[in-house]
Amino acid sequence: MRAVIELVNVRKVYRIGGEEVYAVNGVSMSVRKGEFLCIMGASGSGKTTLLSLMGCLDRPTSGKVLIDGIDTSSLSDRELTDIRRDKIGFVFQQYHLIPTLTAFENVELPMLLKGVPKAERERRAMELLEIMGIAKAANRKPSELSGGMQQRVAIARALANDPEILLCDEPTGNLDTKSGEVVMNLIEEQNERGVTVVLVTHDPDIAKYAERVVRIRDGKIVEDPGIKLG
Ligand SMILES: Nc1ncnc2c1ncn2[C@@H]1O[C@H](COP(=O)(O)OP(=O)(O)OP(=O)(O)O)[C@@H](O)[C@H]1O
Ligand SMILES: [Mg+2]
């Protein structure tokens, strides 16, 4: 199986005042096509930073991030934006929906940015809301939805442009157990359709959904059944 995401000795250093924080400190790993991978680690261990690097939301301080074999360090910001829009869907812990738009419009937005024709956008947005079981809430604003419903809208939005890769940062972190299960089942269904899923969590019950669990501590991988650590 080829790697959809490959990290080669990736570091991300933040400078706060005079101090350097190594949020990700020399990580090498591959994510294979169709995999359901979970990244676990304590708060502050670098999970969100690692996921942002995998999703080209941010560039590493050093090392390489390859998406589908393409070295992203050779790409312009514009080209990176295109890769994100076409290949990658993000689901954030805090949903990050646009408050002034309805559920429907939030799901439609990535397609609008990609230039998908109106009829196709509307068909696809409605289809996704139906798949997520929230079609009835299409015309509601995020503030009129429960947390679980907002997260389902966020997943629908992440899937709008049919990404190969779905990156989820603590997608059930703000949900009750029942809504969390609904959201995890929806993510699992996407993986069964062939979408590569990388999910960050510190909840062992959530990690059970994954076929491979990578553990990080202080920005370093301490356990990865997918590779031999030397
Ligand atoms: N934009 C930033 N500027 C400065 N330091 C940052 C920034 N983002 C993260 N850090 C630092 O990098 C380290 C890793 O942060 P990160 O958010 O990746 O951890 P995390 O594992 O996602 O934590 P949590 O479980 O609390 O979400 C922390 O020490 C954090 O303070
Ligand atoms: Mg985090």
pTM above 0.75, yes or no: yes
Closest Cα to atom 27, ligand 1: which residue?
43
**CA 43 to ligand 2 center in whole angstroms:** 7
| Smallest-distance ligand from the CA of 41 | 1
Ligand 1 atom nearest to 41, measured from its CA? 21
- Residue linked to tokens 């069964």: 192
Q: Over the stretch 142-176, which tens digit does the pLDDT of each residue have?
A: 999 999 999 999 999 999 999 999 999 999 988 88
Asked if 216 contacts 53 with a C-beta cutoff of 8 angstroms, the reply is no
Ligand 1 atom nearest to 15, measured from its CA? 4
Structure tokens, 22: 């190594």
Under DSSP, the state recorded for 135 is: G
Asked if 107 contacts 129 with a C-beta cutoff of 8 angstroms, the reply is yes
Q: How many CA atoms lie within 13 A of 98 on its CB side?
A: 11
What's the pLDDT score for residue 52?
A: 95
- Residues of the chain whose pLDDT is less than 70? 1, 227-230
Closest Cα to atom 31, ligand 1: which residue?
44
Identify residues whose C-beta is under 5 A from ligand 2, the ion: 47-48
What's the pLDDT score for residue 228?
A: 47
Q: Over the stretch 116-147, which tens digit does the pLDDT of each residue have?
A: 999 999 999 999 999 999 999 999 999 999 99
Domains of the chain and CATH, by start: 3-223 (3.40.50.300)
What's the pLDDT score for residue 227?
A: 56
Q: Give CA–CA dist 63/55, Å, rounded.
A: 15
Asked if 221 contacts 31 with a C-beta cutoff of 8 angstroms, the reply is no
